[in-house]
Amino acid sequence: MASKAASEAPAGGAAGAPDPRLPGETAADRAPERYPVAEPGGKYLAPGVAGAAKILVVGPLGVGKTTLIGTVSEIRPLSTEALMTRAGARVDTRGGRTKTTTTVALDFGRITLDGDLVLYLFGTPGQQRFLPAWRDLAKGALGALALVDTRDPAASFDALGNLEDLDLPFAVAVNAFPGSPVHSEDDLRVALDLLPSTPLVSCDARDARSSVLALIALVRHLVHAATESS
Ligand SMILES: Nc1nc2c(ncn2[C@@H]2O[C@H](COP(=O)(O)OP(=O)(O)O)[C@@H](O)[C@H]2O)c(=O)[nH]1
Ligand SMILES: [Mg+2]
């Protein structure tokens, strides 16, 4: 990973948030009615479900993983948040002063896309010391959504590096926080050392539709990658 590049990313960008659309995607592909956001409480799978995929949601502490899974999940999400301890405070420095809990095992949620594809979402603990758990969680996963906070893009290097080590295809979603510097897509790609084919979208983890669109960008990428390699 290009660890130096992100710290050199220009603050305050020119072009605004990256366009969430993928090359070749039309506005109709993203029409809200195509992807109705599931109502929470749907305990059972919809009858038309034809496939399922395990997806990781990764990123550093405080980037919005637990929030995103809770926002999109149609079942009550499982969250294993624990109070951050004084011992952890020395190392768990991200997340701002308001963050008092952290995911210690995993987050889990489920979402059905387009009525027929179920995504099982597994949020990984953000801290690199949980890497062994991370590797276990990655078993059987088809891909990952990597969240990035532009206030500290370098904090995402560990997660992106882990995904590369695991050879797990991923999409990057910039989670917008108030006061986050806005970078052009090109600057972000350079800073995060992304391949041209890696989708880069923006989202607000508290907003269901934008979070679902980020997951759709990932699924399209996975389908495309699978088609290319077959
Ligand atoms: N403003 C804003 N706050 C967010 C967003 N996503 C998460 N947060 C807040 O940031 C904090 C950390 O989020 P959390 O989901 O716990 O991060 P995690 O450590 O990656 O699981 C929480 O207080 C969230 O409410 C976002 O998109 N915008
Ligand atoms: Mg969490």
Nearest CA to ligand 1 atom 25: 67
Taking CA 9 as the corner, what is the angle to CA 1 and CA 222, rounded to the nearest 5 degrees?
50
Alpha-carbon 64 to chain mean position: 8
Instruction: Tell me the CA–centroid distance for residue 173 and ligand 1, in Å.
Output: 13
What is the model's pTM? 0.78
Query: Side chain identity at 210, as an amino acid letter?
Result: S
In the DSSP assignment, the letter for residue 153 is G
Instruction: Tell me the CA–centroid distance for residue 27 and ligand 2, in Å.
Output: 32
Strand partners, 118: 52, 112
Asked if residues 45 and 82 have their Cβ atoms less than 8 Å apart, the reply is: no
Domains of the chain: 46-229 (3.40.50.300)
**What does the pLDDT read at residue 179?**
87
Nearest CA to ligand 1 atom 13: 64
Digitized pLDDT (tens) for each residue of the chain, 230 residues in all: 444 444 444 333 334 455 555 556 666 666 655 555 555 556 677 777 778 999 999 999 899 999 999 999 998 887 766 555 555 555 555 555 456 666 556 789 999 998 889 999 999 887 677 677 788 889 999 999 999 999 999 999 999 999 999 999 999 999 989 889 989 999 999 999 999 999 999 999 999 999 999 999 999 999 988 887 77
CA distance 162 to 151: 21
Which atom of ligand 1 is the closest one to the Cα of 207?
A: 27
**What does the pLDDT read at residue 21?**
54
Q: How far is CA 31 from CA 116, 210, 220, in A?
A: 17, 12, 15
Say yes or no: CB of residue 99 within 6 Å of ligand 1. Answer: yes
Say yes or no: CB of residue 177 within 6 Å of ligand 1. Answer: yes
